[in-house]
Amino acid sequence: MQKIIIIKYGELTTKKDNLNFFLKTLAQNITKTLGTLATNVYFDTGRMFVEAKEENISPIIEKLSKIFGIHEIILGYKDADMEMSQIKANSLALLQELTFTTFRITTKRSNKKYPINSMEISREIGAHILKNIPGLKVDVHEPEINFNIEIRYNEILYYYETIPALGGYPVGTLGKGLLMLSGGIDSPVAGFLAIKRGIKLEAIYFESPPHTSEAAKNKVLALAKILAAYNAEIKVHVINFTQIQEGILKNMPRDYLITIMRRMMYRISAIIAHKNKCHIIVNGESIGQVASQTLTSMKCINEVVKIPVIRPVACFDKLEIIALAQKIGTYETSILPYEDCCTIFVPKHPVINPSLEKCYLYEQSVDYEKMIYEAIKNEEIIQIKNTEDMEKFKGIL
């Protein structure tokens, strides 16, 4: 018998026509993420398999538990010997290693040519186990050990240990999206949820040096790195927003600062998305959370772009978002106290129900198109990978 990691797909198997595309993408994502840890990755329509040296199995499971499109990870064994006597010997050898009192044998026979049917195999193996390990009882409803035997065409699989995984779709199967990534709690969670639906993300971050620091930027890059573990890699577009922000600050009534600033962010995001073949913008807006996220504000801000804006946490409350941030590992980094360009010039009383007419009027006072062009021309691109050791973020991670 050889130890093997078996992957179950779950929801993916409902994709009839393009199942193969989904599976190929999943296999690519797994191969890329595991790198040299795995010696072989292969699949059929029912299962994916990862072969590796014994010492690499734990780190591999750790990495697989962050890959979308995997429903369950199973630590199992395979054997090409398909004789009933060998199935008995293997099952006994594996179960003898464990401590338990109740069990069941579950047999799945995808190879319908195999001469003995599933029920019979389960019965015979069950009897063999009861005869050879004293003190056991069969419990088909709630057994301590559910021992699985899968009869395939060229091999038999044995397993009793399954680890639930993330589910969702393999990253990249739904195309690309651009995440507006700030250093806050909400946007990394929004990014995670988008990745879960199979979207490959690039990120955009607006900085306002010297009002925002290098540390604030590193914090955002650190968050991108955490997300990259789910996504394989993320390209971060860093946009210098200082000139635009100062222009707005100088020329516009204070209560409209945030509204206009966010309209500018949306305009830039839409252009960056278009240039990088991203089909949607994703952000961490949550309905009612702040003045710029009332329904009228959202409508007024959204009005500057045609590209769909997806807000995965729109209907979550803050506590739900925090719980998810903790689960995915972004929370500790998000709460580090660094300033964001959205917060440095926050007026005391931002408008809650902005009017479009006023936005048009105020925006006439700055040549924002030229400033947007400049900001995009000077974008800095940082490629974040999850494989390489990114020394410079160590201090803040």
Applying CB under 5 A, the residues found at the interface with Mg ion are 186
Radius of gyration of the chain (CA): 27
Q: Shortest Cβ distance from residue 254 to ligand ATP (Å)?
A: 17
CB atoms closer than 10 angstroms to residue 81: 12
233 binds, among ligand ATP, Mg ion, none (CB under 5 to 8 A by kind): none
Closest contact distance (angstroms) between CB of 191 and Mg ion is 13
Measured from the CB of residue 191, what is the shortest distance to ligand ATP in angstroms?
8
199 DSSP assignment = P
158 is an interface residue for ligand ATP by CB under 6 A: no
283: partner contacted, choices ligand ATP, Mg ion, none (Cβ within 5-8 A by kind): ligand ATP
Q: Please name every residue paired with 382 in a beta bridge, in sequence order, or none if there are none.
A: 236
Whether 393 and 221 have beta carbons less than 8 Å apart is answered as yes
Q: Residues touching ligand ATP: how many (CB under 6 A)? A: 18
Question: Closest distance between Mg ion and the C-beta of residue 2, in Å?
Answer: 49
Q: Residue 10 gets which letter from DSSP?
A: G
Tell whether residue 270 is a contact of ligand ATP (CB under 6 A).
Answer: no
Q: Is 341 in the site for ligand ATP (CB under 6 A)?
A: yes
Toward ligand ATP, which CB reaches closer, 103 or 206? 206
Least Å from the CB of residue 77 to Mg ion: 48
Of the pair 143, 188, the CB lying nearest ligand ATP is at 188
**Only segment of 120-128, 277-285, 296-304, 364-372 that touches ligand ATP (CB under 6 A):** 277-285
In angstroms, the CA 242 to CA 248 distance is 10
**Cβ of residue 223: shortest distance to ligand ATP, in angstroms?**
9
Contact 73, 163 (CB under 8 A): yes
Asked if residue 68 binds ligand ATP (CB under 6 A), the reply is no
- 290 makes contact with ligand ATP (CB under 6 A): yes
For tokens 């201090």, the residue is 395
Query: In this structure, are strands 200-207 and 309-310 parallel, antiparallel, or unpaired?
Result: unpaired
Instruction: Please give the structure tokens belonging to residue 85.
Output: 């006597």
Residue 227's CB is within 10 A of a number of other CB atoms, namely 27
Q: Which of 340, 359, 362, 375 forms a contact with ligand ATP (CB under 6 A)?
A: 340
Are 169 and 69 spatial neighbours (Cβ–Cβ below 8 Å)?
yes
Contact partner, 180, from Mg ion, ligand ATP, none, Cβ < 5-8 Å per class: ligand ATP
Site string for ligand ATP, 178-207 (x = CB under 6 A): --xxx-xxxx----------------xxx-
Tokens of 222: 């650190």
Binding to ligand ATP, residues 225-264 (CB under 6 A): none
Name the strands in the sheet holding 145-151, side by side, starting at the edge strand that comes first in the sequence.
Answer: 38-43, 47-52, 2-8, 70-79, 156-167, 145-151, 102-109, 137-138
Amino acid present at 249: L
CA 10/CA 12 separation, integer angstroms: 5
Residue ranges in contact with ligand ATP by CB under 6 A: 180-182, 184-187, 204-206, 283-285, 289-290, 340-342
